[in-house]
Structure 1
Amino acid sequence: MTDDQQVLDGHGVAAALLDDWRILMGALHARFRTGSFAKGFAFVERIAAEADKADHHPDIDLRYGFVHIRSTSHDAGGVTERDVRLARVISELADGLGLTPETAKLQVVEVGLDSADAAEVKPFWAAVLGLSDSAKHDDELVDPDGLLPTLWFQETDRHDPPRQRFHFDVRVPPEQAEARIRAAIEAGGTLVSDDRAPRFWVLSDAQGNKACITTWLGRDGDHV
């Protein structure tokens, strides 16, 4: 196995002395304060040019005041020397533009769901959220595109359905709602209520955990 295929752990990344970067959930992350959208766009353009040269392409999130970069080697299943080399180049580009790294604001969110039988409800949540089985962990569902957080199932004793204190609202285009609901029911779920459709439908998995499929229809103002 070459260095470009060897997956680095936290110690390996720390040894690379990447001041602007942190390893979070199997990927290198950095965030740079740009101060303007135009400067952020210029930064992204330079990153894209260097990524093409290296034939190694990170995920980039351009916002008004900052740019967030996530780099991982998908074929290796984690961070490799390819990511380290690209990270160094990106940091040099940021320094050349006078951008400020914001390591204190880096974070990755995962969602954990207590379950006495993960296999019983996992297909439901894959259908509701449009997630896929993790290639590494049987107790996880992941978004291959990296837009949604990972959902993992924590083992617990079987119990009556709890009074939920939070749940997922999944906003989809109106024309996709019926297919998403059908997929969730076919995956072992139950339609609890369609009283407020097409604003939202309430669904439940086989263990009583609820989620809502929602659309913009029937909503006004800021809630569309």
Structure 2
Amino acid sequence: MAGSREDALDDTTISERLAAELPAWTYEDGWIRRTYKTAGWKSTLMVINTVGHLAEAAWHHPDLTASYAWVEVRLMNHAAKGITDKDFALAKKIEEVVGWQPGTEGQGLEGTPTDARFAYIKYDK
């Protein structure tokens, strides 16, 4: 199920696209990366599993580092030895799903309570 090899994007293109498309992500040491802050270990595991599901479905796998209350996601296309469109596509999907705040959409889903016993992601907004 291997796809065709993609060309790595240049540093300027990566920086411009991150600013325009994924402002919470950074480019450092050859990776695009994002750290998600969580309310604790249970939430951290849920983020890891969510990212894992999306990565496996996409067949494009990030490197993850985790601690009690955070998960760092790092993406780089190993075959291309750099950042490609695949990295941006998966980062956008991760951002969309992990950053989803149903309580702000007004569609009947109230979102995670603010009570510390039920806290989940520490949203940027």
Residue in structure 2 matched with residue 56 of structure 1 by the alignment: 60
- 1:176 corresponds to: none
Deviation at 1:100, TM superposition (A): 3.3
CA separation in 2, counterparts of 1:93 and 1:36? 19
Say whether the 8 Å CA contact 1:5–1:76 is kept in structure 2.
yes
What displacement does 1:93 show? 2.0
Distance (whole Å) between structure 2 residues aligned to residue 100 and residue 78 of structure 1: 29
> What corresponds to 1:7 in structure 2?
8
- Cα RMSD (Å) of the superposition? 2.1
Cα distance, 1:13 vs structure 2? 1.8
1:17-58 C-alpha deviation (Å, 9 max, x unpaired):
211211112111111111211111111111111101110000
Mark the CA change 1:4 to 1:93 in structure 2 (over 3 Å): closer, same or farther. Answer: farther
Number of residue pairs matched? 100
- Tell me which protein shows more helix as a share of its residues: 2
Deviations 1:176-219 (A, max 9, x none): xxxxxxxxxxxxxxxxxxxxxxxxxxxxxxxxxxxxxxxxxxxx
| Deviation at residue 85 of structure 1 after TM alignment | 0.6
SS in 1 for 2:61: coil
TM-score (norm 2): 0.71
Q: Are residues 1:26 and 2:30 paired?
A: yes
| Rounded Cα–Cα distance in structure 1 between residues aligned with 2:82 and 2:38 | 28
1:45 and 2:49 aligned = yes
* Alpha-carbon contact 1:94-1:100 (below 8 Å) kept: no
Match of 2:123 in 1: 100
Separation of aligned partners in 2, 1:67 and 1:100: 13
The reply on whether 1:82 has 2:86 as its aligned counterpart is yes
How far apart are the structure 1 equivalents of 2:62 and 2:123? 19
Q: 1:48 to 1:4 in 2, by over 3 A?
A: same
| Alpha-carbon distance in 2 for matches of 1:100, 1:72 | 24
Give the structure with the larger strand fraction.
1
The letter of the residue matching 1:36 is G
Q: Percent identity?
A: 24
Runs of 4+ with deviation above 4 angstroms: none
- Secondary structure of 1:61's counterpart equals strand
**With CA pairs under 8 Å and 6+ residues apart, which has the higher RCO, 1 or 2?**
2
How much has 1:99 moved relative to structure 2? 3.7
CA distance in 1 between counterparts of 2:74 and 2:37 reads: 15
Q: Verify the 8 A CA contact 1:4 1:81 in the aligned structure 2.
A: no
Question: Partner amino acid for 2:14?
Answer: V
